[in-house]
Amino acid sequence: SPSCPDGSKRRVCYYYDAGIANVDYGAHHVMVPRRVAMTHGLVASYGLLRDMELLRTRPATQDEIAYILTDDYLRLLRDLTPDTYRADSARRHKIGALSLSGDERNDNPVIDGLWDYCARYAGGSLAAARALGTGTSDIAINWSGGMHHACSGEASGFCYVNDIALALTELLATFPRVLYVDIDVHHGDGVEKYFASDGKVMTVSFHQFGRAGKGDDTFFFPGTGNAKDVGEGEGKYRTLNVPMKAGMDDTGYKELFVPIMREVMEVFRPDAVVLQCGADSLSGDRLGEFNLSIRGHAECVAYLRSFNVPLLLLGGGGYTINHVASCWCYETAVALGKEKEIPDDIPHHGYEHYYKDQGYKLHYAVPKAGTKNTKDHMDNIRKEALKNVEKLHE
C-alpha cells in the first residue's frame, strides 16, 4: 500500500480517450464533452503527462456494465439510436428519462454513439479502480467519469451509466471499506441510491439546495440530499448529506468540508476514497450558483490526498468549460504534488483561445459576491453533519 508522507510524490495514473471528446449532446446542450479534451490539452501542454502512467484501456464490456443496470435499460441503451427512437413511439413513451436530441432543452438526449460513449467513460473508471486495487497506482484519474445521477433503470441529469457505482463495486473486491465524496454542486443521488443500504460504502455529498434569490425550498436539481437522509439498514449513517445555499465561497466551503471529512475519515476509516470533482461548484458556472475558486475547489482534493489512502479522482458536472478544464488540469497537478510548479500563464497548445475571458491564465478572478450561507446556517449544517457521523461510532 502507498507509504509516502503528505506532500511527497504519489504514483498517478490517468485515463484519456479522445473518442469521448467528440460526443455531442446536441447543439445548445450545456454538457460539452469537449471540455475533457481541453483538460487533456492543458495537462499535456504543462508537461504533466510525463509524470503519469497513461491508462490505455478498452471500453467497458456489456457484461461489466450489466452488473449495475436492469436488463431492460441495458438493452434500450445498447440498441437505441436517434432513428429507432424516432420510429418507435411505443418505446418512447415508456422511457421518459431519455429524449431526442434537438427536442427542446432535453437533459438526456438519445445521441449517436450513446452506448459507445457510456462504455468508454465507464471503462475508464473501471480501469482506474483496478489500478488502485492492484496497487500499481496511489491515485487514478478519469475526468470523463463521475456521472453520479444515473440509476440502474434510467438516465438522469445528463448521466446514462453510473460509472461511479461500477468503480466502487470494483474497489470493494480489494478494499473492505470505500468512501465516496461528491463536490459537484448537485446532489449525488444516483450513487447514494445504489449504496444506501450497503455498510461497506459510505457516500458523502456536498451540494446546493435551493436557488439564489428564491425561497429556500425552490427546486435546484435533483431536489434530494436533505441532511436528514442518512441511509438505511446496514448502511444507516453511511449516507451523509451537506446541503448548502447559493453563493458558497472558499472560506465557507472549507469550514464545512475539513471538519466534516476529518471526522468521516477518522470514524469510517476507509481503505480507498473516490472523489467526484464536479466543477460546476466553481464561481461563474452556467448551472451552479456557488462561488468557489479553482484553488478552493482543489483544496478538497489536496485534503483527501493528504490521508494517503488510494484515491480515485473523477470528473462530473462543469458547464463553463474554460473553468472546468483549468480546474481539472490544476487538480491533476495537485494529485502529482506539482501545483506550485505550474505557471499561471497558459502555454500555447491549440485550445488557448478558449481562455480569453480569463486573460489566458489558469486561475481566474472570483467576484466578491454575497452568500446566502449565514454563520448561523453554517453552524447548523456542520453540527447536523457531525452529529450524523458520531452516530456511526455507536
Q: Would you name the residues annotated as active-site residues?
A: 149
Binding residue for ligand VJV (CB under 6 A) from 154, 280, 285, 289?
280
Beta strand 178-182 with 272-276: parallel, antiparallel or unpaired?
Answer: parallel
Residue 317 binds to Zn ion (criterion: CB under 5 A): yes
Please identify, using beta-carbon distances, which residue of 52 and 167 lies nearer to ligand VJV: 167
Is 71 or 104 the residue whose CB approaches ligand VJV more closely?
Answer: 104
Identify whether the C-beta of residue 180 lies closer than 8 Å to the C-beta of residue 195.
yes
User: Looking at 106-114, 160-168, 180-188, 266-274, which segment touches Zn ion (CB under 5 A)?
Assistant: 180-188
Residue 205 contact among Ca ion, ligand VJV, Zn ion, none, beta carbon within 5 to 8 Å by kind? Ca ion
Residue recorded with cell 495537462 = 43
* 28 near ligand VJV (CB under 6 A): yes
Nearer to Zn ion, 99 or 205 (CB): 205
CB of 244 to Ca ion, least distance (A): 10
The single residue among 287, 302, 386, 392 that binds ligand VJV, judged by CB under 6 A, is 287
Query: In this structure, are residues 25 and 158 in contact, taking their beta carbons and an 8 Å threshold?
Result: yes
Q: How wide is the angle at C-alpha 172 spanned by C-alphas 169 and 175, nearest 5°?
A: 155
Asked if 183 and 281 count as a contact pair (C-beta separation under 8 A), the reply is yes
Which of Ca ion, Zn ion, ligand VJV, none lies near 30, with the C-beta cut-off 5 to 8 A by kind?
ligand VJV
Least distance from C-beta 374 to ligand VJV, angstroms? 26
10 within 8 A of 336, measured Cβ to Cβ? yes
The DSSP output letter for 355 is G
Among 107, 138, 184, 192, binds Zn ion (CB under 5 A): 184
For 144-205, give the secondary structure using H, E and C. CCCCCCCCCCCCECCECCCHHHHHHHHHHCCCCCEEEEECCCCCCHHHHHHHCCCCCEEEEE
- Helix ranges (H only) for 249-320 are 250-268, 294-305
Region 153-182 residues binding Ca ion, contact defined as CB under 5 A: 182
Rounded CA gap, 393 and 263, in Å? 11
Distance CA(142)–CA(151), nearest Å, equals 20
Cβ closer to Zn ion: 184 or 299? 184
297 binds Zn ion, rule: CB under 5 A: no
Question: Amino acid identity, residue 284?
Answer: G
Work out whether 188 is an interface residue with Zn ion (CB under 5 A). Answer: no
Q: CB–CB of 226/244 below 8 Å?
A: no
Contact 171, 195 (CB under 8 A): no
Contact, 347 vs 29, CB < 8 A? no
**In whole angstroms, how close is the CB of 164 to Ca ion at the nearest point?**
12
Q: Which of residues 261-290 bind Zn ion (CB under 5 A)?
A: 278, 280
- Count of residues that bind ligand VJV according to CB under 6 A: 20
205 belongs to the binding site for Ca ion (CB under 5 A): yes
In the complex, what is the shortest distance from the CB of residue 20 to Zn ion, in angstroms, rounded to a whole number? 18
If binding is defined by CB under 6 A, does position 221 make contact with ligand VJV? Answer: yes
Nearest distance in Å: CB 144, ligand VJV: 11
**Residues with Cβ < 8 Å from 215, sequence gap 6 or more?**
none
Q: Is 207 in the site for Ca ion (CB under 5 A)?
A: yes
| Contact residues for ligand VJV, defined by CB under 6 A | 28-30, 105-107, 147-149, 157-159, 184, 186, 221, 278, 280, 287, 316-317
| Contact residues for Ca ion, defined by CB under 5 A | 182, 184, 205, 207
